[in-house]
Amino acid sequence: MHIQRHFDRDLEEIKDLLLRMGAMVEESIQQSIRALLDRDSAIAEEVIANDDRIDRMEVLIDQRVIELIAKMQPAAVDLRFVATAMKITPELERIADLAVDVCERVIELSREPQIKPLVQLPRLAEDAQRMVRQALDSFVRRDANLARQVIKEDDVVDQLTVDSFRSLLTYMLEDTRNISPAIRLTFIGKYFERMADGATNICEMVVYLVEGTIIKHAPPQPA
């Protein structure tokens, strides 16, 4: 016997709001990458201006979740779902802030000469973007396997961040005039790496949602 509960509609609404927030964040990341590759300050300004909407969304979702806890006293998987929702929103908000940080550096870079063609950074950015998208997919589909796969990809992103920094370091050593733009690009690499960390955190929550196991701060299990 399955009872249709109006509570399920409330949960569905929270999921929809989270997905809308996720779509906004993905858009910010996408735009920040474009701004970086095209050295386009106008797009960068747009991302910065749109960040307010994402912040408001975070507050809205938090309110809804707290109301739901107060009214419905969720249990078991429902409880894990609302706990997950509450932990995912700040991660998304932080990821959006990182996209804003990228855009601020892009605006600064646009006033300086380009020191080198970008090699590792575009890959790093795309990997981070894909991880965020897949993290959200794993949440929507309640797919712990996908979540675990995304978590593994974080190592690749970390390695790309190190490679990017090493490469930029050689430019700085070569010519001190490169230091300022190279540091900005190093920051940008770090921002994308932090986005991937955010995606990893979301995925850890998805595993908790699906299986009830806390996997963060634990050594990875052999496959």
Partner 1 sequence: MSKPAKITVRDFDFYYGAAKVLHGITLDIPERQVTALIGPSGCGKSTFVRSINRMNDIIPEARGEGTIEIDGRNIYAGGTDVVALRRRVGMVFQKSNPFPKSIFENVAYGLRIGGVRNKRELHETVEKSLVRAALWDEVKDRLNASAFALSGGQQQRLCIARALAVDPEIVLMDEPASALDPIATTKIEELIWELKENYTIVIVTHNMQQAARVSDSTAFFMLGKLVEHGETKTIFMNPKEKLTEDYVTGRFG
Residue 77 in the binding site for partner 1 (CB under 8 A): no
As a whole number of angstroms, the distance between CA 136 and CA 192 comes to 17
Question: Measured between alpha carbons, how far is residue 54 from residues 13, 51, 119 in Å?
Answer: 17, 5, 30
> Given the complex with partner 1, which of 66 and 183 has the nearer CB atom?
66
Is 60 among the residues that bind partner 1 (CB under 8 A)?
A: no
Q: Which amino acid is at 55?
A: D
190-203 exposure pattern, b = at least 16 Cβ within 10 A, e = fewer:
bbbbbbbbbbbbbb
CB of 65 to partner 1, least distance (A): 11
CB of 210 to partner 1, least distance (A): 24
Angle value at C-alpha 163, between 157 and 169, nearest 5 degrees: 140
Residue 72 touching partner 1 (CB under 8 A): yes
Scan residues 3-32 and list those touching partner 1 (CB under 8 A): 3-7
Q: Does 76 bind partner 1 (CB under 8 A)?
A: no
* 114 lies in the binding site for partner 1 (CB under 8 A): no
Out of 53, 71, 141, 177, the residue judged to bind partner 1 by CB under 8 A: 71
Q: Is 1 in the site for partner 1 (CB under 8 A)?
A: yes
Site track for partner 1 across 133-162, x = CB under 8 A: ------------------------------
With respect to partner 1, which residue has the nearer C-beta, 69 or 118? Answer: 69
Cβ distance 64 to 170 under 8 Å?
A: no
Which DSSP string corresponds to 41-64?
A: HHHHHHHHHHHHHHHHHHHHHHHH
Give the Cα separation of 123 and 61 in Å (integer). 32
Kindly determine how many residues on this chain lie close enough to bind partner 1 according to the rule CB under 8 A: 12
**Under rule CB under 8 A, residue 73 binds partner 1:** yes
- The reply on whether position 2 binds partner 1 by CB under 8 A is no
Q: Does 165 bind partner 1 (CB under 8 A)?
A: no
Among the listed residues 198, 192, 130, the one whose alpha carbon sits nearest the alpha carbon of residue 161: 192
Does 70 help bind partner 1 (rule: CB under 8 A)? yes
CB 100 within 8 A of CB 45: no
Query: What is the contact surface with partner 1 in residues (CB under 8 A)?
Result: 1, 3-7, 66-67, 70-73
